[in-house]
Copies of this chain bind each other. A is one copy, B any other.
Amino acid sequence: MKFVAEIDVMPHKELLDPQGKTVANNLSHVDINGVTDVRIGKHVTLTLEADSEATARATVETACQKLLANLIMENYTFSLRAVE
């Protein structure tokens, strides 16, 4: 079966996010007001083949922990869906 995982890798809430801070500070220069906070991370779309949803979920977990996220600075969340 084929699965698609939509993964978000974001900097920990406790940490300063300089990229997000810069965007937040500069939105008003392009006439966009009312934005109080911006956090920027990565979005990863992973397409994979697996026997079951449980296997797919385990593969995505491993990929996040070993390769996609730096767990010292980032956390990850993902959703998984089966595609035909």
Q: CB within 8 Å of B: which residues of A?
A: 2, 6, 8-10, 20, 23, 26-27, 30-50, 56, 59, 62-63, 66-68
Looking at chain A's contact residues, the main secondary structure is strand
| Residues A10 and B47 in contact in the complex (CB < 8 Å), given A32-B62, A32-B66, A67-B26 | no
**Copies of this chain in its oligomeric complex:** 2
What residues of B have a CB within 8 angstroms of the CB of A8 in the complex? 6, 43
| Residues A42 and B42 in contact in the complex (CB < 8 Å), given A35-B63, A59-B34 | yes
Q: Is the CB of A40 within 8 A of B39?
A: no
Q: How distant is the Cα of A41 from the Cα of B23 in the complex, in angstroms?
A: 17
Q: Is the CB of A67 within 8 A of B34?
A: no
Q: How distant is the Cα of A27 from the Cα of B47 in the complex, in angstroms?
A: 12
